[in-house]
Amino acid sequence: MLKVGVVGLGRMGGVHLRNYTEMPDVEVVGVVDVDAKAREDVTARFGVPTFATLDELLAQKPDAVSVCVPTFLHHEAGMRLLEQGVSTLIEKPLAATAAEGAELVAKAREKGAVLMVGHSERFNPAIERVKSLLEDDVISVHIERVSPYPVRIQDVGVIKDLGSHDIDLIRYLTGSDFKNVHVVASATFGEHEDSAVITAEMENGVLAQISTNWVSPFRGRKINVACKSRFVAADLIAQSVMEYSPFSEVEKTYSVREWPVVAREPIKAELTAFLDALRNNIPAPITGEDGLEVLKTFERLFDSLHG
C-alpha cells in the first residue's frame, strides 16, 4: 500500500486526486490547498484528509505526491518534498526556470527519490501508436495545438502551457535533442503570448514545427509525421491514427490504413507509471532530466523571441 498526496486542488489536482482514489493498493493520506472551500469540496466528495499547509501533509509520511500548483510554486513545493525523500510528480512544466529545474533534478538524485514530470501526452494511446510506427527515416514533425483562452491560467503564456507538451513530444518522437530552435509569437488578449509558431531542427536532422494558440474557438490537437516510408497523422483528442503509404505510380494513389487505438485516460496511465517506478525502483518514464530539457528549450525560445 503506497501512501500518496496531492498539492493543489485546481483542475489538474482534482484529476490526480480522483485517479488516486480509484487505484488499488493506494491510500490518499492528504491533499493540500490554501482555499478552504476547495478543501471542503474534496472532503465531501472523496472523504480524504485535507490540509492548508504542506507541513501537515509531510507529517503523514507520504511515499509519493503530485504537485499541481501554479508553475511559479513548483520549485518550492518540489524541493520540500524531495528533501524529505518523497517521490514527486510535478505537473508540466517542471519549474519556472531551467535553474530551478536543475536544482530539483539534483535534489532528487541526492535523495534517491523518483522525480517525474507530468507531460501526460506521452501516455495518450494515439502518441504511443505513432511512436510504434516510426523508424529512423523521419523527415519532419508538425504539431497543431490550439484552444480557447484559458481564464484559469494567469502565470504563463501559451508557449509554456500548451507548447510544453509538444516540445517534449518532439524530443520523444524523434529521439533527439533540439539543435536550432526559433519562435515568433504575439500577445493579443493578455500580458503573456497567446499565439506562437515554433520551428526547429533536431540534432539528427529532423525538422519540426509547433503551431499553438489560445485564440481558437475550439480545442485542436493534431500531429503529422512525414517519413521516407510513410506519412502518419494523428488526432490526439479523438485518439485516432492514420498511416499513408508512399504514392503508388501504378495505382496513382496512396493506400491508407487506420490503426486501432484503445482509448484511455492518459493521466491514469501516467500516475500508474509513476507509482510503478517507485514500487519497482526504476527510472520514471518521463524523468526530471526530460523536464529540464524542456525548460532549457523554453529559454532558447524566449532568447530567440526577445533577441
Task: Answer yes or no: is pLDDT of 141 > 90.
Answer: yes
Q: How many domains does the chain have?
A: 2
Residue, of 305 and 185, whose pLDDT is higher = 185
Mean pLDDT of the chain: 94
Do residues 228 and 204 share a domain?
yes
The answer to whether residues 32 and 58 touch, using CB atoms and an 8 Å cutoff, is no
Do residues 102 and 126 share a domain?
no
Do residues 104 and 175 share a domain?
no
The answer to whether residues 210 and 170 touch, using CB atoms and an 8 Å cutoff, is yes
Do residues 61 and 183 share a domain?
no
Q: Is residue 135 part of a domain?
A: yes
Q: Tell whether omega for the bond before 49 is within 30 degrees of 0, i.e. cis.
A: no
Domain interval for residue 42: 2-119+267-287
What are the residues whose beta carbons fall under 8 Å from the beta carbon of 274, sequence distance 6 or more?
A: 64, 87, 89, 114, 116, 284
Task: Answer yes or no: is pLDDT of 71 > 80.
Answer: yes
Structure confidence at residue 153 (pLDDT): 67
Q: Is residue 279 part of a domain?
A: yes
- Reported as a single tens digit per residue, the pLDDT across 239-293 is 999 999 886 666 667 789 999 888 889 999 999 999 999 999 999 999 999 999 9
Do residues 301 and 254 share a domain?
yes
Do residues 208 and 228 share a domain?
yes
When pLDDT is averaged across residues 102-106 and rounded to a whole number, the result is 98
Do residues 113 and 125 share a domain?
no
When pLDDT is averaged across residues 170-175 and rounded to a whole number, the result is 97
- Reported as a single tens digit per residue, the pLDDT across 211-220 is 999 999 999 9
- Reported as a single tens digit per residue, the pLDDT across 57-67 is 999 999 999 99
When pLDDT is averaged across residues 181-188 and rounded to a whole number, the result is 94
Q: Is residue 74 part of a domain?
A: yes
DSSP 213-229: ES--SS-EEEEEEEESS
Q: What is the DSSP letter of 287?
A: B
Structure confidence at residue 150 (pLDDT): 82
Structure confidence at residue 250 (pLDDT): 66
Do residues 54 and 154 share a domain?
no
Do residues 149 and 44 share a domain?
no
Q: Is residue 101 part of a domain?
A: yes
Do residues 134 and 184 share a domain?
yes
Structure confidence at residue 190 (pLDDT): 81
Please, which pLDDT band fits residue 305 given cuts at 50, 70 and 90?
confident
CATH number at residue 181: 3.30.360.10
Distance separating alpha carbons of residues 306 and 291, to the nearest angstrom: 23
Do residues 58 and 73 share a domain?
yes
Distance separating alpha carbons of residues 229 and 225, to the nearest angstrom: 11
Q: Which of 6, 190, 156 lies closest to 70 in space, CA to CA?
A: 156
Please, which pLDDT band fits residue 306 given cuts at 50, 70 and 90?
confident
CATH number at residue 63: 3.40.50.720
Distance separating alpha carbons of residues 31 and 62, to the nearest angstrom: 11
Amino acid at 156: V
Distance separating alpha carbons of residues 66 and 139, to the nearest angstrom: 37
Q: Is residue 292 part of a domain?
A: no
- Reported as a single tens digit per residue, the pLDDT across 46-57 is 999 999 999 999
Q: Which of 9, 7, 303 lies closest to 159 in space, CA to CA?
A: 303
Residue, of 156 and 67, whose pLDDT is higher = 67
Structure confidence at residue 307 (pLDDT): 67
Q: Is residue 158 part of a domain?
A: yes
Do residues 79 and 170 share a domain?
no
Structure confidence at residue 196 (pLDDT): 97
Structure confidence at residue 224 (pLDDT): 98
Structure confidence at residue 151 (pLDDT): 75
